[in-house]
């Protein structure tokens, strides 16, 4: 057994500690300094949070936690529930399914300038607090429209129907973007079918859809409109900013005296001009898409089985809904894991900081 001689330890410690005299000057020094700080309130040296009573401190901490969790989860919730809020049913097909929404939400962002523009229909005003709102308000709405119509026509009338559809587009100031036809034969007992993509000016799009339905029997109509005004304004603003930067670099270029300086400025100019060209291209695409509406019409002879997928019902529908729900749930879990991890990290850091502050506060005394 190993033991410690406590008596010896006490003696040696006492001997070592008593080996010097405590000077009175040191005590006087403490006394003097204590007198000097006599009137000083110790409260001024304690952090505000530590001075609060326990309940108030708890409330403040809880409020801070709620703020952090809210700040993390709100954008997430917004992104989760966004599209379904602004989608609105507009038309129903002959088979009864919802086929189009005329107003959709558009959310875009400009570098450094958060912008969110939501237009729920052509008559509504955009939400305030966005950088592109004022610019968008002064700009004519940029709406891109697309759609598809499935028509059943009589036996041997696919070709003539295609020609009629082409005429409809041209009459409205549009054109035929593409066309495709397959001729059926009696030998192989196959049916004729075809498809045509029509582009007409935006303001004729709705009338074109109506006229197309008269060419045959429409089995499904799907149209969608998307307001891209905000996106358009963002692109234009970016282009404007880049153009201003380009001007500044050009001014710098005139003052550059060394080859290295000129090359550096030229490099920047190349980058900016490349970005400008990309933006201009995107603007052109948006311009084109919003100038003309595109309608795809697919034609089939009567008696041919429709390609339109009929809505499932009963057990099959339930089964597919279950699978879709499972996949969506899994996707949601993956999506939320990032913010959740971030929230946990924040909480951990907060707890660690709180513990440090608490210990430091206790140590001060």
Give the residue with the Cβ less far from another protein, 2 or 254.
2
For another protein, which stretch binds (CB under 8 A), given 18-26, 57-65, 265-273, 343-351?
Answer: 18-26
Q: Which residues on adjacent β-strands are paired with residue 222?
A: 148
Q: Which stretch binds another protein (CB under 8 A): 34-42, 117-125, 140-148, 268-276?
A: 34-42
Rounded to the nearest angstrom, the gap between the alpha carbon of residue 323 and the centroid of all alpha carbons in its chain is 26
Strand order in the sheet with 193-201: 89-92, 98-101, 217-227, 143-153, 292-301, 193-201, 175-182
- Segment contacting another protein (CB under 8 A): 39-47, 105-113, 152-160, 235-243? 39-47
* CB of 1 or CB of 259, closer to another protein: 1
Is 84:105 a contact under the CB 8 Å cutoff?
no
* Residues of span 133-152 touching another protein by CB under 8 A: none
Question: What single DSSP character describes residue 228?
Answer: -
Q: Angle at which helices 202-215 and 158-171 pack, to 10 degrees?
A: 160
Please state, in angstroms and rounded to a whole number, the distance separating the CA atoms of residues 324 and 115: 32
The set of residues, in sequence order, having a beta carbon less than 8 Å from that of 72 and lying 6+ positions away, is 339, 342, 343, 346
Q: Does 70 bind another protein (CB under 8 A)?
A: no
Select 5 or 123, whichever has its Cβ closest to another protein: 5
Binding of residue 17 to another protein (CB under 8 A): yes
The residue within the footprint of another protein, chosen from 111, 189, 255, 363 (CB under 8 A), is 363
Q: With binding defined as CB under 8 A, does residue 254 bind another protein?
A: no
Of 8, 186, 189, 255, the one binding another protein by CB under 8 A: 8
31 binding another protein? (CB under 8 A):
yes
Does position 35 bind another protein by CB under 8 A? yes
The two tokens of residue 110 are: 């400009």
Q: Are 161 and 198 in contact (CB under 8 A)?
A: no
Contact flag: residue 185 with another protein (CB under 8 A): no
Q: Which residues bind another protein (CB under 8 A)?
A: 1-10, 12-20, 22, 26-27, 29-31, 33-35, 37-38, 40, 42, 45, 362-365
């Amino acid at each position: 057994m190993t033991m410690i001689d406590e008596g010896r330890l006490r003696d040696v410690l006492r001997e070592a500690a008593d080996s010097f005299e405590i000077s009175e000057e040191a005590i006087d020094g403490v006394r003097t300094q204590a007198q000097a700080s006599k009137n000083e309130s110790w409260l001024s040296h304690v952090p505000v949070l530590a001075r609060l009573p326990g309940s108030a401190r708890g409330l403040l901490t809880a409020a801070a936690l709620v703020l952090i969790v809210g700040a993390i989860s709100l954008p997430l919730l917004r992104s989760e529930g966004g599209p379904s809020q602004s989608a609105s049913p507009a038309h129903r097909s002959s088979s009864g399914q919802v086929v189009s929404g005329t107003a959709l939400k558009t959310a875009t962002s400009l570098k450094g300038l958060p912008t969110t523009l939501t237009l729920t229909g052509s008559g509504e005003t955009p939400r305030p607090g966005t950088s592109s709102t004022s610019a968008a308000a002064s700009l004519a709405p940029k709406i891109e429209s697309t759609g598809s119509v499935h028509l059943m026509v009589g036996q041997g009338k696919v070709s003539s129907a295609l020609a009629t559809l082409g005429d409809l587009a041209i009459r409205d100031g549009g054109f035929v973007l593409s066309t495709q036809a397959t001729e059926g034969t009696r030998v192989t007992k196959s049916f004729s079918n075809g498809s045509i993509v029509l582009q007409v000016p935006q303001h004729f799009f709705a009338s074109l859809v109506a006229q197309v339905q008269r060419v045959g029997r429409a089995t499904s109509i799907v149209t969608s409109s998307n307001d891209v005004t905000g996106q358009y304004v963002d692109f234009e603003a970016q282009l404007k900013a880049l153009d201003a930067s380009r001007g500044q670099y050009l001014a710098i270029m005139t003052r550059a005296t060394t080859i290295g300086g000129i090359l550096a400025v030229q490099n920047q100019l190349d980058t900016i001009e490349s970005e400008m060209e990309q933006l201009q291209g995107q603007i052109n695409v948006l311009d084109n898409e919003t100038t003309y509406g595109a309608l795809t019409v697919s034609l089939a002879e009567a008696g041919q089985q429709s390609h339109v997928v009929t809505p499932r019902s009963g057990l099959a529908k339930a089964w597919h809904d279950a699978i879709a729900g499972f996949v969506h749930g899994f996707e949601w879990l993956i999506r939320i894991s990032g913010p959740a991890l971030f929230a946990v990290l924040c909480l951990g850091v907060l707890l660690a900081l709180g513990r440090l502050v608490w210990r430091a506060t206790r140590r001060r005394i």
